[in-house]
Structure 1
Amino acid sequence: MTHAPTAGGTQTDVAGDLDALGVEVDSSSRRLAEYSYDASNYRIRPVAVVFPRDADDVARTVSYCHRHRIPLIPRGGGTSMGGNAIGPGIVMDLSRHMNRVLSVDTETGTAVAESGIVLTTLAAQARSATDGRLTFAPDPSSASRATLGGAIGNDACGNHSVRHGRTTDHVEELFLVTADGQRLTATRHGVEATDPTDEAAAERAAELTRRLSDLAAQHMAILRTDLETIPRQVSGYHLAKLLPENGFDVARALVGSEGTCAVVVGARVRLVPVAASPLLICVGYPTVSDAARDIPAILPYAPSAVEGIDRKIVATMAARRGRDTVSALPGVTDRDCTAWLFIDIDEQSAARKSETDVGATAKLLLDELRSQGRMIAGTTVPDPVARKTLWRVREDGAGLSSRLADPDDESVGADYESWPGWEDAAVAPERLADYLDDFTDLLDRHRLTGVMYGHFGAGCMHVRITFDLRSDEGRAVMDSFCTDAARLVVAHGGSLSGEHGDGRARSALLPIMYTPAMLSTFAEFKQIWDPQGTLNPGSIVDPPPITDDLALAGVPPRTWPTMFRLGVPDPSAPGAAPDGAHTAPPDPFVHAVQGCIGVGRCRSTSGGVMCPSYRATRDEKDSTRGRARVLQDMVRTAPDVETGWQSTDVAEALDLCLSCKACSTDCPTGVDMATYKSEFLHHHYRGRRRPMSHYSLGWMPAWLGVAGTLAPAINAALKSPLRRLAARTGGLDPRRSMPRFATRRARRDHVAALPPVTAATDTVLFVDSFTKAFRPHVATAAAEVLGSTGDTVGCSADNCCALTWISTGQLTHARKVLSRTAQNLDDGTDRPIVVPEPSCAAALRKDLPELVHTDAAHRVSSRVHSFADHLSRLVEAGWRPEGLPDAVTLQTHCHEHAVFGATTGAAVLQSLGVEVHTADGCCGVAGNFGFEQGHYEVSVAVAEHALAPALRTAPDRPVITDGFSCAMSVDHLAATDPAISSTGLHLAELLTRGATPRPPTATPTEPTHPEGA
């Protein structure tokens, strides 16, 4: 289906007109690609994207669209799964600038905020302003990037809605810009002009009040009988709020209207008390239906949350982020346990049961559930860290379920994918179990698989389904299934949508749920507010078919040859398609880049490590999602593969990617943008001149030997006026502090003097290029620590991980280097290979087998450990150093976080009794990135997110920087900020203070491999 503005001229005209009005607008092809998608199945290319700075900008833009009859789509975090944040015409991103909390009133317990404020930010500022007493209640799983305006648009609910209800229940006033550009305020009792002196606005408010009052009076009967029949009836408009018994509540009638009636620029919202004694209870069940059948027994305890998840989601979290992330779940090792409930109780729950102790209330509940006979295992989780870790599993359900990864489940292949579309139905909680039984039968009849999770306590079920959206047959199956599913949920007295809204996914199915009279009333409500139909057309009223504008439809079935093995079987290989699918899996590269489904965790500014460039710029183009969307448009629209690889839009989108790898684990769907960037650069620059930094830094391992010989001269030059010229010549930024090269003598004393690898060696110490060239003393320290365990240590210093060639996309040479390294290290043993530099360790563990497709590469990869990762195994075996500090600041290394585990460094130090204060986030240097021209400002801004504040907070604590880039960032901060005087230490250096060497267990013999390993 092709969309275009109904009037208004060309795309260039629109952008130029808005720019002349003083509105920030972007109509570049790259920007349009980013905003052609949300978190739904749909793609519609807009004409332009607007970033208003205030309500006046909004009014100017809306008035312009009204005059020219151009569709306008308000957008917050872009996390809509129903397709209600995309559309033709102009997309208005309210999150970029309009994101302030304007006031918090402790007496009335309310807050006023702009619509672009992120929900977790609003909640945090409310707690801060009320000394931790009050917060904003709605907490959907996307709360760390979803906005207040988006929550109002969809009537979002969240994990604690069983206690606190929907966003509707917390709105006091909405500050609006109407479809004709008027500034109005919708209140709990009507509509008024935001500025009482604005006569035109006052007239419009009076007209709206009269027409809405007439609407309610004319349709009073069906508003009372057809709406608000269950707690999560979100589909359609909330017109029952206009009834006299509800006070003619226009503000709450507009909640859930999906931007189709007016643009919400801000709101006054009600705050709720913060629980003083929250306690999580986890209960395991044989099936999701068994879990649902216990809901009636749980609700009398007044829980604040009752959430459910499927085992496949748990297994995927364990595979992607480590088994320790789910180890606290009861029954997680029992294969008969396939579903869990997460139940939050607190002092209010205890009071309901006449108890004074929350723990005693939890015991009562667990005893009652055991008596029901369905649960397999249950436990309380009092530790707040463990509680937060487990809630992360539920919060990431949408992403985890879309790309499953369970090595123990043969039904989950590398090409597994599932999609939204019917992910938001709700029934009364007491009917949930029966509904799930029937829903499971419906999936089976259509030969589809669904991974289930959701708000069990509120009767709202989220499901990701294995629709085949690439073929006509598969889309027909989706259409048929969703139609049958709509009939099923209505038969159970339920709602098509329980919090995501109707959007493009469900609006066309509303005739199954509502009578023609009710649908006509919805249309009349829309027409009163938006007579020309320019606001978010296609949602709720006059929708297109649910199979129109699907993002996966029309993508050419081309092969994009790649150097990396991206994990998806060759589409031409024999093998049956999964149930419900009608085509072979797509090309591996296409499948990989389409892994982004838009949930937007990369747009979060707290928690995890990704995406450092977005945290620095707050621009969609610098998020993992934004880059993935541009890549998705590349594989969709390029006239041919070779032209696609030359895309300047993709090159621009990837420019500020730090290749930190964090997205490969922090992203719930496992999008690995560092790998995609490397692959793209390989093709993009084939046969073309590269940036100078690709030669100066990309080929660094090749010239470091000479640099060692000339170290004194080079180091002197780096302090002289020649430094700026040399930096610019090499494509580097002269403002960046440059490293000092180790002399030949230092390399000889610290590396060449280490014992070689022999047949008797227990542990291979792989001395990487960075350690050898800049920190050879770290090799000595690492060998000393490893030797203090009683193991014999042999040094391999003549091989390379090819990291700099990989990160600059010079993959042909990278493969040659890695092939040679794999051959040299593959010695027929399984002894560990320990690498002091985490990024090099990550390259050998992850990139080696993906670039070199040999058994030797896989064998070597499996033996590789970062220093901290290997040390944890020694500590578990009983090794203990002495003389460690009480506390340290640990710079979390991005590559180690991604490949060896999010808590690798912190866990080993904590197990040794050291208090660890982590700086969670990229250091900003990130290999080549921080040195390259054009990246300095972003690099420094990235360091300011976590590392720099941590150094200022505790200047006397030792700072652990296992990564050379991290150490360089600390050095640069110390050189440019008088408040920072820290120097980074490798973990091995810290431990040598307390490591007591013991005699080796065997006498070294001659090396068995001449090249060192």
Structure 2
Amino acid sequence: MTTATRDLAGLKARLAEFAPGLRVETGVGATGPYAYDASNYRVPPRAVAFPRTADDVVAVLRACREAGVPVTARGGGTSMAGNAVGPGVVLDFSRYMNRILDIDVEARTARVEAGVVLDALRSATALHGLDFGPDPSSHSRCTLGGMIGNDACGNRSVRDGRTSGHVVSLEIVTADGVRAVADHAGLHPVDPGDAGPVARLEADLKRLVGENLALLRTELGRIPRQVSGYQLHHLLPENGFDLARALVGTEGTCAVVTAATVRLVATAQASTLLTLGYEDVVQAAEDVPEILRFSPSAVEGMDEAIVATMRARRGADSVTGLPEGRAWLYVELEGDDQAEVNARAAELLGVLKDLGRLTGGRVVQSPAERRSLWRVREDGAGLAARLVDGGESWPGWEDAAVAPENLSAYLRGFRKLLASHQLTGVLYGHFGAGCVHVRIDFDLASETGREVMRRFLTEAAALVVEHGGTLSGEHGDGRARSELLKVMYSHRMIAAFAAFKQVFDPHGLLNPGVIVDPAPLDADLALRELPLVEAKFTFPHDEDGFAGAVRRCVGVGRCRSDAGGVMCPSYRATGEENDSTRGRARMLQEMVRGETVTEGWRSTEVRDALDLCLSCKACSSDCPVGVDMATYKAEFLHQHYKGRLRPRSHYSLGWLPKTSALAGYAARPLNLLLRGPLGKLLARLGGVTTQRRIPAFASRRTLRKTLQAAKPSEPAKAILFVDSFTRAFRPQVAGAASRVLADAGIPCTPQDGLCCGLTWVSTGQLATARKIMDRTVTALDDGDDRPIIVAEPSCAAALKRDVPELLGTEAARRVADRVQTFTGALTDLADDGWTPPPLPQNVVLQTHCHEYATFKGRRPADLLRRLGVGSVDEAEGCCGLAGNFGFEAQHYDTSIAVADLALTPRLDALDGRSVVADGFSCAAQIDHLAGDQGIRALHLAELLDPAADQPGETT
């Protein structure tokens, strides 16, 4: 046993002694993802602890003090400055300490634990017409503890300022394990027995302030966004010795916050949004002082690169409502009366037009359009990280701020500085507060590139100070900027910061390397030169192949959101970081590095991290940087099991297109057999859960009759690709699809006997998948350029994306370009005058994840509404079955837990409405959950079938 192993075992034993029952993880499979946050840095921890109570935190701090082990507090892990990584024990508050303890409506306050996600608090307070003011773009996953650590602001900081302005009191644990409450009047012990240590600490702080009165009054609090360093001016006598506000923004270096009481604000009764276009961001910044005269709640800016990337990743209609321009401002106005707000917006627009810098401007009336526009801005950090041209950019100087009136001058100088270093920056941020976010194309993998970054950051620090600004205006100093504080502050101020930390943390164990005694800004960088990794997939959008693909994850953590979009269903079901898209990507990055994960493709830790990935592909669309974990998992499984026996389900489910084709010749007796005891035995032998009914196979005779009837009586305009699932289990869908398409003016020739290879891809049998795909491409790429319409969304997605990315041939790309889903065909190709049969007014819809991710802008919900369905209640999220995943015995519970997030509640409240689900997996899951109640999901083709009985409200 090595010394490090013995020390780790000793630490874990000490933690178990101090806090029995405390969950502590030390294996690389659990700690690997915590080596990263959303910054450029990688610091592997020795352990990760998941406290449930403040007493657990006390125990950890006392044990770590005895062992001399550092402690880093962590919320959502969305820090862009390296504030949430550390070499000792990481405390993850988001997992269990995430309760809202009290909401006092009359006092307009809330008491919350440190791990509460901001959106959870906002949802709870919204019921009372209240809100928490600061709203960072990461609001769907950042925690209150993290916001307190960084003194976060947000899009509406023009109105609401920083988190420190909304904190009433903080419940903290000191480095010595003492619980106390910090408020506007000082520090108070929780346990009367700790009165002595708390009084001494408070006395030391007052002595420090008394010795530095002039210094604190002249160097701190100069502009609204001065977040860098410690906010010691709140301790001045004229500020009432407000220790709560002074501790906000200390980034976990002085005490660990376990809970907080925060002020709430009233929700605005009326609002409107203006979108303003400019030639560039400097022109936009010139107008900010005039805009501020109209008391906006938000003034946000961004440049054209972010918009172009959003449109490329999520479809042209993902960004609408922007006027002509190459840079834009969002200006939100709020008030108590909508008419007054509208009048103010019109007046502001007129004033700005007269100033002459606008290229265009408009008031956005549609709430849906406003939500869409805000999503572009909120995803800015991720969208800027991997742009449409494939370029990568990084944080490090993403957070500087100046007074708004100095913003345009600062931006001019900043762009000159970028050019002098031959760097490019993607600009966006809180222009109304003078805070500019920028991601820069640093070459962090080479020594030369890191030297350029160091020189640039040093000069950038001098530039922002020259303009009266601050290194950090929101994200904190962290590992990225703490070394540069000496450029912004005097030696005496730096010494005062060190003395402040010394009072709280005499042994320097709390988040070391940040603010005081900083680590070099170029130490512990995650990116480095790595060897190319041989892979089966071509990864055409990533210059370094598989290694470049997994590097897409930069840690912004959108996959940890509990609502909105589809990603990431397994994280939403388990709440574990390791089950998030980010956690899996970080483990793959560790595998490629080869330091902590040393077994490469054979790693069991990586295999386990990928195990609960449903391969839903939602991340390829919802993740701002386009992480495609389904593809990474398929590649890993292929390499991991190469030359070895696989899990039984890889054979029983992976080869389903072949076995189901044979089953069709004896469907009736085989279905009877599978319904009995022998069926359960066969399921167990095949690694398939016995808690589901095996879907009934269709006979070949039925299929032949269906396809014969589906042949068009007029020249075909398209090919109807009869996929393996439709062929084996529901040939009636092929018949219905053929009739609907013909009725819509798109007669089709049915194409049977081919396969997209999806089941082999999802089980990582890529060599076989390539053979299947090659045969299919050869058959389809015969000079015919007609659209290929696929009724099964997962097979359509495989033909559209997996086939060209695995084969990498021009023929595969030609075939992929022709592929349409059934929804897409009706959207794009139907006759203008086509009218479907009468439709139900209310429909519950389960959109297939692969269709959602791959066929942007062609969603069944939009088509149904356009065809006259009045209400479409879409179960936004994965159904949980996800192909082979939900049929595998070890995944059944997770499959049901995922269904419970969105699908099951809608089925429980069905109330006679029709259910539509184009995916075979989705329909099978619905049958499993509600089939006993007589509920069956219809394919959209069945709903629209002109030969079917007029659909009623019950299916």
Q: TM-score, normalised by structure 1?
A: 0.91
Secondary structure in structure 2 of the residue aligned to 1:787: helix
2:859 to 898, 904, 908: 904
> Are 2:744 and 2:826, in contact at CA under 8 Å, matched by a contact in 1?
no
Percent identity, aligned pairs only?
55
> Are 1:788 and 1:995, in contact at CA under 8 Å, matched by a contact in 2?
no
Q: Does 1:188 align with 2:193?
A: no
Mean alpha-carbon deviation: is it higher for 706-715 or for 884-893?
Answer: 706-715
Aligned residue type for 1:244:
P
Aligned residue type for 1:740:
A
Tell me the residue number matched to 1:573: none
Aligned residue type for 1:516:
H
Deviations 1:293-347 (A, max 9, x none): 100111111111110111000000000011111122122xxxxx21111111111
Tell me the residue number matched to 1:343: 331
- The CA distance in 1 between the partners of 2:316 and 2:643, in whole Å, is 44
Secondary structure in structure 2 of the residue aligned to 1:945: helix
Mean alpha-carbon deviation: is it higher for 11-20 or for 865-874?
Answer: 11-20
Secondary structure in structure 2 of the residue aligned to 1:954: coil
Q: Does 1:559 align with 2:559?
A: no
Q: Does 1:149 align with 2:148?
A: no
Q: Does 1:539 align with 2:535?
A: no
Tell me the residue number matched to 1:1008: none
Q: Does 1:675 align with 2:650?
A: no
> Are 1:8 and 1:69, in contact at CA under 8 Å, matched by a contact in 2?
no
Secondary structure in structure 2 of the residue aligned to 1:946: helix
What is the CA distance between 1:830 and its match in structure 2? 2.5
- The CA distance in 2 between the partners of 1:243 and 1:176, in whole Å, is 21
Aligned residue type for 2:268:
A
What is the CA distance between 1:877 and its match in structure 2? 3.2
2:936 to 983, 987, 990: 983
Q: 1:14 to 1:787 in 2, by over 3 A?
A: same
> Are 1:176 and 1:183, in contact at CA under 8 Å, matched by a contact in 2?
yes
Tell me the residue number matched to 1:281: 274
Q: 1:981 to 1:622 in 2, by over 3 A?
A: farther
What is the CA distance between 1:882 and its match in structure 2? 2.9
Tell me the residue number matched to 1:312: 305
Mean alpha-carbon deviation: is it higher for 73-82 or for 23-32?
Answer: 23-32
Tell me the residue number matched to 1:581: none
Aligned residue type for 1:461:
V
- The CA distance in 2 between the partners of 1:463 and 1:876, in whole Å, is 47
Mean alpha-carbon deviation: is it higher for 985-994 or for 273-282?
Answer: 985-994
> Are 1:751 and 1:772, in contact at CA under 8 Å, matched by a contact in 2?
no
Tell me the residue number matched to 1:408: none
Secondary structure in structure 2 of the residue aligned to 1:934: helix
- The CA distance in 2 between the partners of 1:297 and 1:956, in whole Å, is 56
Q: 1:387 to 1:236 in 2, by over 3 A?
A: same
Tell me the residue number matched to 2:953: none
Tell me the residue number matched to 1:927: 883
What is the CA distance between 1:880 and its match in structure 2? 2.2
What is the CA distance between 1:743 and its match in structure 2? 2.1
Q: Does 1:396 align with 2:393?
A: no
What is the CA distance between 1:568 and its match in structure 2? 4.8
- The CA distance in 2 between the partners of 1:386 and 1:531, in whole Å, is 53
Tell me the residue number matched to 1:10: 7
What is the CA distance between 1:757 and its match in structure 2? 11
> Are 2:844 and 2:913, in contact at CA under 8 Å, matched by a contact in 1?
yes
- The CA distance in 1 between the partners of 2:595 and 2:754, in whole Å, is 40
> Are 1:732 and 1:931, in contact at CA under 8 Å, matched by a contact in 2?
yes
> Are 2:597 and 2:603, in contact at CA under 8 Å, matched by a contact in 1?
no
What is the CA distance between 1:993 and its match in structure 2? 4.8
Tell me the residue number matched to 1:657: 613
Aligned residue type for 1:799:
L
Aligned residue type for 2:431:
F
1:238 to 210, 231, 237: 231
Tell me the residue number matched to 2:735: 780
Tell me the residue number matched to 1:992: 945
Secondary structure in structure 2 of the residue aligned to 1:281: strand
Aligned residue type for 1:562:
A
- The CA distance in 2 between the partners of 1:640 and 1:534, in whole Å, is 27
Q: Does 1:964 align with 2:916?
A: no
Tell me the residue number matched to 1:436: 411
- The CA distance in 2 between the partners of 1:805 and 1:752, in whole Å, is 29
> Are 2:720 and 2:789, in contact at CA under 8 Å, matched by a contact in 1?
yes
Deviations 1:450-475 (A, max 9, x none): 00000000000000000001111000
- The CA distance in 2 between the partners of 1:526 and 1:200, in whole Å, is 24
Tell me the residue number matched to 1:170: 166
Aligned length: 946
1:880 to 814, 832, 835: 835
1:952 to 892, 904, 908: 908
Aligned residue type for 2:730:
R
- The CA distance in 2 between the partners of 1:552 and 1:372, in whole Å, is 45
> Are 1:757 and 1:794, in contact at CA under 8 Å, matched by a contact in 2?
no
Tell me the residue number matched to 1:1006: none
Tell me the residue number matched to 1:425: 400
- The CA distance in 1 between the partners of 2:515 and 2:947, in whole Å, is 67
Q: Does 1:322 align with 2:322?
A: no
Name structure 1 gaps, 5 residues minimum: 332-336, 406-411, 570-584, 998-1013
- The CA distance in 1 between the partners of 2:794 and 2:745, in whole Å, is 27
2:346 to 357, 363, 376: 363
Tell me the residue number matched to 1:451: 426
Q: TM-score, normalised by structure 2?
A: 0.97
Aligned residue type for 1:991:
L
> Are 1:737 and 1:971, in contact at CA under 8 Å, matched by a contact in 2?
no
> Are 1:303 and 1:345, in contact at CA under 8 Å, matched by a contact in 2?
yes
What is the CA distance between 1:205 and its match in structure 2? 2.1
Tell me the residue number matched to 1:524: 499
Secondary structure in structure 1 of the residue aligned to 2:710: coil
1:917 to 873, 880, 883: 873
- The CA distance in 2 between the partners of 1:156 and 1:878, in whole Å, is 54
Tell me the residue number matched to 2:16: 19
Deviations 1:460-513 (A, max 9, x none): 000000000111100000000000000000000000000100000000000000
What is the CA distance between 1:843 and its match in structure 2? 0.3
> Are 1:347 and 1:356, in contact at CA under 8 Å, matched by a contact in 2?
no
Q: Does 1:852 align with 2:827?
A: no
Aligned residue type for 2:594:
T
Tell me the residue number matched to 2:195: 202
Tell me the residue number matched to 2:286: 293
Aligned residue type for 2:511:
N
Aligned residue type for 1:442:
L
Alignment of 1:721-732 (within 5 A): 721-732=677-688
Tell me the residue number matched to 2:211: 218
Q: 1:536 to 1:612 in 2, by over 3 A?
A: same
What is the CA distance between 1:840 and its match in structure 2? 0.2
Q: Does 1:609 align with 2:566?
A: yes
What is the CA distance between 1:875 and its match in structure 2? 5.3
Q: 1:568 to 1:844 in 2, by over 3 A?
A: closer
Q: 1:639 to 1:518 in 2, by over 3 A?
A: closer
> Are 2:726 and 2:734, in contact at CA under 8 Å, matched by a contact in 1?
yes
Alignment of 1:80-91 (within 5 A): 80-91=79-90
What is the CA distance between 1:704 and its match in structure 2? 1.2
> Are 2:740 and 2:946, in contact at CA under 8 Å, matched by a contact in 1?
no
What is the CA distance between 1:24 and its match in structure 2? 0.6
2:356 to 365, 373, 378: 373
Alignment of 1:572-971 (within 5 A): 587-637=544-594, 643-755=599-711, 760-874=715-829, 877-901=832-856, 904-914=859-869, 915-971=871-927
- The CA distance in 2 between the partners of 1:608 and 1:802, in whole Å, is 27
Secondary structure in structure 2 of the residue aligned to 1:970: helix
> Are 2:167 and 2:244, in contact at CA under 8 Å, matched by a contact in 1?
yes
Q: Does 1:254 align with 2:227?
A: no
What is the CA distance between 1:846 and its match in structure 2? 0.6
> Are 1:123 and 1:137, in contact at CA under 8 Å, matched by a contact in 2?
no
Q: 1:464 to 1:808 in 2, by over 3 A?
A: same
What is the CA distance between 1:379 and its match in structure 2? 1.0
1:472 to 447, 454, 459: 447
Secondary structure in structure 1 of the residue aligned to 2:344: helix
Deviations 1:375-424 (A, max 9, x none): 1111111211111111000000000001001xxxxxx3x3x101001100
Secondary structure in structure 1 of the residue aligned to 2:106: coil
> Are 2:712 and 2:747, in contact at CA under 8 Å, matched by a contact in 1?
no
What is the CA distance between 1:912 and its match in structure 2? 1.3
